[in-house]
Amino acid sequence: MPALIRADFYQPTYFGDSPISDLDYVYRIPRFKCEHCGSDSTTSRFAYPHLDPSTVLSLEELRIIDGRKPEKASDDKIANCLGQLRARWRVPVTAGTSFGPVRIKVSARPKDAFDALPLHSALFLRRGMAERLKAEGFVFDYVLADAYGRYAAEADLVQLCAPTAGRLWLPPSITFCSHCLRHSPHERLEPILYDTDAIRNLPFFATLEAGKFMLSSTFVGAAVRLGASGLGPKTLWPASVRPGPAPAAPIFEGTGMRVPPIQPRDSSGRRGKKSQTSPTTKREINPAFVSAWLRRLRGFLDQVRLMGGCAAFATGGESKMLFSKPHGLPGSLSTLLTACGGKLSFKYSLDLKGQEFSGGLEVDTRLLKRHKRECAKWANETWIADEPEEKSLWLNSRPFASLPNGDYLGLGDWSQESNPPVVYLCHDDSSQVLAQDLASFLEIWAGLGYIGPEISILDHFIDNSTGMLDASTLKAERLRDVFRSAEQKGTS
C-alpha cells in the first residue's frame, strides 16, 4: 500500500472519483427528539441493506420511514417504529438508519473497487472484488446494489452488510445516549476504537457510536494485493485502537453489542454549530492588516525550515501591477487578494518528536469561479441536496479555498452581511461557522500555527459554546508550547 499509515483498521472517507451521482433510500428513519437526552439530530447512519421493514411495520408506519417522501409523524410514532425494528432484528436503529439497498445512479465509469456514500450511509464494493475477497477466506454478506444509469452494469456494485460491532472512544466532553444511540453534542469523532475480540475477527464493521465503517488492515491489504485501486491515505484514515472498556449491560444480543451506562449530560449543553455571530465584535480587514499577517506567516515558515521541516510560500506579488482588483467578491476577500497580488499559497510540514504537523492554504483569484461551480455541484447532486440548511449554506457561500479532503473554506452569505463569517463547507458532515469574519479567522489560525485547516484538525480548537475556532484555549496554548520548545532547540 503506497504511503498508507500502518494501522489495524481504516475508516473509508472520501472517494473523490465516485461514479455515483445520485441516490435514494428505500426506508430511512427520520429525525426525532429523544425523551431521555433531548437529542434531535442524526449522528450515525446505520445501514441494513439486507433487512426489509415491510415484514415488520404496518403500511401506515412504513410511510413514516419512506426514504424519499416520509410522512410527518410525532416523535412517539417514530419511536414506536424504532422499537419494533430493534425488537425484531436486535440491531441498533436510530435517526438516519436505512433499510434495504440504497438506490444509486452510476453515471461515470467506475475507477475504484470501493465507494462509500457520505456520512457512511452505505459502503460499496465491485462484485468481482467482493467475490475474490470471499475466495480468500473473508466471511461477509452483501446485497446487489439497486443501481441504474449508464455505467450501472459495468460498475456491478454490491452494498456491504456491515455488522455493528465496534465501539468508538468518546472524549469526556461527549455523552452517548443508550436509549436513542446518539451522541451529544453532535460533532465529528476521532476514529479511535476500543479493542475487542469481535472487531479482531471481522473484515469490516460499523461502530455503535457514530455508525462509521471500519475496514481491517488484513482486508484492505488483501484487496490491494488483488488489484483494488483507489485505496490510499486520501481515502482511508487510520483508526487507532486502545484497550477495551468494562462492558455494560448488553442490549443487542444479536450483534454482541454492548452500550455504556448513561452519563450525565455535559453542563455546557449543546454545541451551537451555526451560532450567530455577534455584530459588535466584527473586524474589518485592511492592507496593513494583511501585510502584518503575511510577515508573521513568513516568520513562522522560516522557523519551520530551521526546525528541519518543509515550507513553501508564494503570492502573486510579481504580477501585482497587472493584477486588477477582483469584483463581485465580499470586501474582506477582495482586500486580502488585492494585497497578495491575486494569490496566496503556502504549505508546510514538520515532524516534531514523531508527531506530524502540517498546514497550508491556496487562495487564487483564478480558481474562485471553479470553486463556486464545484460547490454548486456538491449542493445539487449529492446528499447535501436533501438537507435544506446545508444546501443553502453551500449555495450562498463564496468558497475561496478547496482543501485536499474535498472540503471548502468560504465566506458566508454576503447578500445578508457585508463582512461575512468564515464557514467550513464539509462534504461528508455538517458544515459550520469557523470565525465571525475573515480577519478573525486569519488571526486565530495564525495563533494555531496555521495547522490544517481540515476540520478533523481544527475540531480540537473549537469552542463548544460558540462552535467557532478559539486560539485562547489550553489546548491551543499547548500546541504553541510544542512549537516554541522545538523552536528553541532548533535555533540554539
Give me the phi and psi of 302, to 5 degrees please.
Answer: -60, -45
CA nearest 196: which of 261, 258, 253? 258
* 48: helix, strand or coil: strand
Cβ proximity to Zn ion, 18 vs 43, nearer residue = 43
Query: Which residue among 130, 177, 344, 423 contacts Zn ion (CB under 5 A)?
Result: 177
Pairing of the two strands 343-352 and 192-194: unpaired
* 85: helix, strand or coil: helix
Q: Cα separation of 347 and 314, whole Å?
A: 9
- Residues of span 307-366 touching Zn ion by CB under 5 A: none
Cβ proximity to Zn ion, 263 vs 472, nearer residue = 263
Cβ proximity to Zn ion, 102 vs 259, nearer residue = 259
**Residue 34 in the binding site for Zn ion (CB under 5 A):** yes
Q: How far is the CB of 261 from Zn ion (least distance, A)?
A: 14
Cβ proximity to Zn ion, 181 vs 228, nearer residue = 181
Cβ proximity to Zn ion, 123 vs 259, nearer residue = 259
Query: Which residue among 179, 188, 282, 283 contacts Zn ion (CB under 5 A)?
Result: 179
Q: Cα separation of 85 and 94, whole Å?
A: 10
Q: Cα separation of 210 and 66, whole Å?
A: 22
Q: How far is the CB of 260 from Zn ion (least distance, A)?
A: 13
**Residue 23 in the binding site for Zn ion (CB under 5 A):** no
- Is 315 buried (19+), middle (13-18) or exposed (0-12) by CB count in 10 A? buried
Span from 135-143, 177-185, 310-318, 356-364 in contact with Zn ion (CB under 5 A): 177-185
Span from 176-184, 331-339, 436-444, 471-479 in contact with Zn ion (CB under 5 A): 176-184
Query: Which residue among 7, 26, 37, 462 contacts Zn ion (CB under 5 A)?
Result: 37
β partners of residue 35: none
Query: Which residue among 5, 17, 24, 36 contacts Zn ion (CB under 5 A)?
Result: 36
Question: For the CA atoms of 467, 471, 477, 482, what is the dihedral angle to 10 degrees?
Answer: 100
CB-CB contact of 341 with 323 (8 Å): yes
CB-CB contact of 23 with 67 (8 Å): no
Q: Cα separation of 306 and 310, whole Å?
A: 9
Residue 79's CB: how many other CB atoms inside 10 A? 18
Span from 35-43, 249-257, 315-323, 346-354 in contact with Zn ion (CB under 5 A): 35-43
Give me the phi and psi of 452, to 5 degrees please.
Answer: 75, -130
Cβ proximity to Zn ion, 46 vs 300, nearer residue = 46
Q: How far is the CB of 255 from Zn ion (least distance, A)?
A: 19
Span from 54-62, 179-187, 343-351, 369-377 in contact with Zn ion (CB under 5 A): 179-187
Q: How far is CA 464 from the centre of its chain?
A: 17
Q: Residue 230 gets which letter from DSSP?
A: S
Cβ proximity to Zn ion, 251 vs 482, nearer residue = 251
Q: How far is the CB of 95 from Zn ion (least distance, A)?
A: 10
Cβ proximity to Zn ion, 179 vs 234, nearer residue = 179
* 477: helix, strand or coil: helix
Q: Which spans in 113-226 are helix H?
A: 127-135, 152-155, 197-200, 217-225
Span from 32-40, 158-166, 270-278, 326-334 in contact with Zn ion (CB under 5 A): 32-40
Query: Which residue among 116, 180, 199, 307 contacts Zn ion (CB under 5 A)?
Result: 180
Size, binding site for Zn ion by CB under 5 A: 7
CB-CB contact of 125 with 142 (8 Å): yes
Span from 59-67, 110-118, 172-180, 457-465 in contact with Zn ion (CB under 5 A): 172-180
Span from 30-38, 78-86, 153-161, 244-252 in contact with Zn ion (CB under 5 A): 30-38
CB-CB contact of 430 with 186 (8 Å): yes
**Residue 113 in the binding site for Zn ion (CB under 5 A):** no
Q: Cα separation of 175 and 171, whole Å?
A: 8
Residue ranges binding Zn ion (CB under 5 A): 34, 36-37, 39, 177, 179-180
